[in-house]
C-alpha cells in the first residue's frame, strides 16, 4: 500500500501551507486527504506568486496539529511516495516533531525511480517529466495537482520493465536510495571512500555549489542527506554529482578545503566569519631586568614574536615553552597576582620568582627558548599520513610562509627540504591558512 504525497510550504522555515495525500493500492486510488494548512507563519510574496496560496487563504485553515491524526491514519502501514521524497518527508516529519510525534514511514522517490526505470530524459523535474510522458498537471505547484500527477507517474513506473526488482531493491533496509538526493546516481555515492579528504557537491551545470572536508568522506557526505535544515534540503535537491580528492590527513584536508573554497566561492559555503581578533606573543624586560613573555591582542602587540588566533592557543604555547625550557609561569603570564609561581602543571621553575636564580641566567634561558623556537618554526616540514600505505604527505613552510602541501612515495630518498619542493603542490598563504597552521607551533616543542 502506498500514500503518494505532495506539500506546499512557506519556503523559508518550510512550514506546510497545503498537503495532499492519495492512498493507492497499486491499482487504484482508495482514499484521499487534501487540505490547506495554517502554517502559523508568514507566507512570502514570492511563494504566493509560485503557488497562488496567500496568507488570507490559510488564515482560517486548520493548523498541522489539528490534522495530524488524519495524516497519521491515512499513511499508517503505507510506503511514503513523493517526487524528491526527502523534501516532503522531512517537512512532514519536522511538523510532527514540533508536536511531539515521531513520524516514520518507508520511502520511495519517484525521481530516483524514474531515472532507473525510464532513463534517457533530459530532466526529471515533475513538470518536465510529466510533459515528456504526456501527463497533465491540473494545478501546478498546488499540492493536489502535483500529487495527482505523481500518482499517474507512479503507475507508469509500476508497469515499467524490471520494476518489481527495482522497487524491492529500493525498499531494502540497506539501500540508500530513499536517502540520496533525487538527482544523484547511487553509483556516484557508492564510489566515495571512507577516507580523509575533501568533497565537491555539483549542480546540473557542473558548477561546484559546496565544498567540505572530512576524516571519513562517505560518512560526512551521507550526513548532509540526513540533515533537515532548509539549507541542506535545498543543497541536496540541487546536487547531481559529487567529486572528491583524498588528503591522507585532516590537516591537509583543511588546507585543501580552504584553497577550494577560495577558488570556487561555492554558494552554499557560508562566508567564513574571520576571527579578526588575533593575539601576539611578545617579550619585554621589567624594571628589575627580568624578561617576560606575554600575550595580548595583536593591535596591542608591536613586533610580535608569534601570532595565534585564540587565547587558548597562546596559553598552551607558553605552557609548553615553560615546560621545555624550564621557564617561570609567573613571568610567562600564566599566573597573575602571585608573589611566586605555583602552577598546577609546571613545576620546573628554577626560582627566579623567589630570588633563587639569577636574572642573567634566567634571561639567557628565555632568549634561547625564543631563538630556538623561531628557528624551528621559520622553515618547517610537517609530516602527515599519505593517501595510501606507501605514501606520506607533507606541508612546507619556508621563511614563515606557507608554500603548500605534497605527497611522496615512502621508497623515495629525500635528503633535504629542497628535494621536497619537486613534489610540492603550490598554494597561496593567507590569514585562514595561518589559523590552521598556528596549532602546529604547539607541536614543534614536543
Residues labelled as active-site residues: 141
Q: How far is CA 210 from CA 183, 203, 263, 264, in A?
A: 16, 9, 12, 9
At a CB cut-off of 8 Å and minimum separation 6, what does 90 contact? 228, 233
3-class secondary structure, 100: coil
Which H helix or E strand runs over 392?
Answer: strand 391-398
Helices (H) and strands (E) in the chain, counts: 16, 15
Instruction: Kindly give the pairing relationship between strand 79-82 and strand 106-109.
Output: parallel
Cα(102)–Cα(315) distance, integer angstroms: 46
For residue 139, with 0-12 CB atoms within 10 Å meaning exposed, 13-18 middle and 19 or more buried, which class applies? middle
Which helix (H) or strand (E) segment holds residue 50: the answer is helix 45-51
**Taking the CA of residue 15 as centre, how many other CA atoms within 13 Å lie in the half-sphere pointing to its CB?**
17
Q: Element (H or E) spanning 151, and its range?
A: helix 143-159
Q: Supply angle C-alpha 287, 290, 294, rounded to 5.
A: 100
Note whether 437 and 397 are within 8 A (CB): yes
Q: Hey, is 109 helix, strand or coil? A: strand
CA atoms within 13 Å, Cβ hemisphere of 311:
4
**291: helix, strand or coil:** strand
Q: Which residues contact 202 (CB under 8 A, 6 or more apart)?
A: 208, 209, 239, 240, 241, 242, 243
Which of 62, 90, 60, 72 minimizes the C-alpha distance to 21?
Answer: 72
Q: Other C-beta atoms within 10 Å of 112: how many?
A: 25
Amino acid at each position: 500500500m502506498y500514500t503518494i504525497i505532495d506539500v506546499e510550504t512557506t519556503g523559508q522555515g518550510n512550514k506546510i501551507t497545503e498537503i495532499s495525500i492519495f492512498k493507492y493500492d497499486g491499482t487504484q486510488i482508495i482514499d484521499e486527504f487534501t487540505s490547506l494548512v495554517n502554517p502559523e507563519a508568514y507566507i512570502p510574496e514570492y511563494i504566493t506568486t509560485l503557488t497562488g496560496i496567500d496568507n488570507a487563504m490559510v488564515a482560517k485553515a486548520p493548523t498541522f496539529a489539528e490534522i495530524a491524526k488524519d495524516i497519521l491514519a491515512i499513511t499508517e502501514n503505507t510506503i511514503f511516495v513523493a517526487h524528491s521524497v526527502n523534501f516532503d518527508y522531512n517537512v512532514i516529519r519536522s511538523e510532527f516533531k514540533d508536536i511531539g510525534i515521531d513520524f516514520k514511514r518507508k520511502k520511495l522517490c519517484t525521481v530516483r525511480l524514474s531515472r532507473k526505470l525510464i532513463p534517457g530524459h533530459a530532466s526529471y523535474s515533475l513538470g518536465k517529466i510529466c510533459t515528456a510522458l504526456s501527463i497533465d498537471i491540473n494545478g501546478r505547484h498546488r499540492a493536489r495537482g502535483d500529487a495527482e500527477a505523481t500518482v499517474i507517474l507512479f503507475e507508469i513506473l509500476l508497469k515499467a520493465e524490471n520494476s518489481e526488482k527495482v522497487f524491492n531493491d529500493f525498499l531494502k533496509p540497506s539501500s540508500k536510495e530513499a536517502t540520496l538526493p533525487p538527482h544523484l546516481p547511487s553509483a556516484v555515492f557508492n564510489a566515495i571512500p571512507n577516507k580523509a579528504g575533501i568533497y565537491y557537491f555539483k549542480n546540473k551545470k557542473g558548477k561546484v555549489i559546496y565544498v567540505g572536508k572530512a576524516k571519513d568522506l562517505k560518512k560526512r557526505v551521507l550526513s548532509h542527506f540526513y540533515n533537515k535544515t532548509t539549507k541542506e534540503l535545498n543543497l541536496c535537491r540541487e546536487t547531481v554529482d559529487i567529486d572528491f580528492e583524498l588528503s591522507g590527513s585532516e590537516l591537509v584536508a583543511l588546507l585543501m578545503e580552504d584553497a577550494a573554497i577560495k577558488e570556487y566561492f561555492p554558494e552554499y559555503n557560508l562566508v567564513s566569519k574571520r576571527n579578526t581578533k588575533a593575539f601576539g606573543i611578545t617579550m619585554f624586560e621589567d624594571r628589575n631586568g627580568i624578561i617576560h613573555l606575554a600575550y595580548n591582542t595583536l593591535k596591542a602587540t608591536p613586533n610580535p614574536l608569534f601570532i595565534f588566533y585564540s587565547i587558548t592557543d597562546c596559553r598552551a604555547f607558553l605552557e609548553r615553552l615553560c615546560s621545555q625550557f624550564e621557564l617561570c609561569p609567573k613571568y610567562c603570564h600564566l599566573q597573575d597576582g602571585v608573589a611566586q609561581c605555583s602552577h598546577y602543571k609546571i613545576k620546573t621553575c628554577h626560582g627566579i620568582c623567589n630570588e633563587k636564580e639569577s636574572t642573567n641566567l634566567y634571561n639567557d634561558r628565555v632568549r634561547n627558548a625564543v631563538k630556538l623556537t623561531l628557528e624551528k618554526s621559520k622553515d618547517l616540514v610537517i609530516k602527515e599520513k599519505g593517501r595510501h600505505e606507501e605514501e606520506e604527505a607533507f606541508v612546507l613552510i619556508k621563511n614563515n610562509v606557507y608554500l603548500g602541501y605534497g605527497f611522496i612515495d615512502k621508497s623515495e630518498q629525500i635528503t633535504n627540504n629542497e628535494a621536497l619542493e619537486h613534489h610540492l603542490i603550490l598554494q597561496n598563504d593567507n590569514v585562514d591558512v595561518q589559523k590552521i597552521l598556528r596549532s602546529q607551533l604547539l607541536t614543534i616543542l614536543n
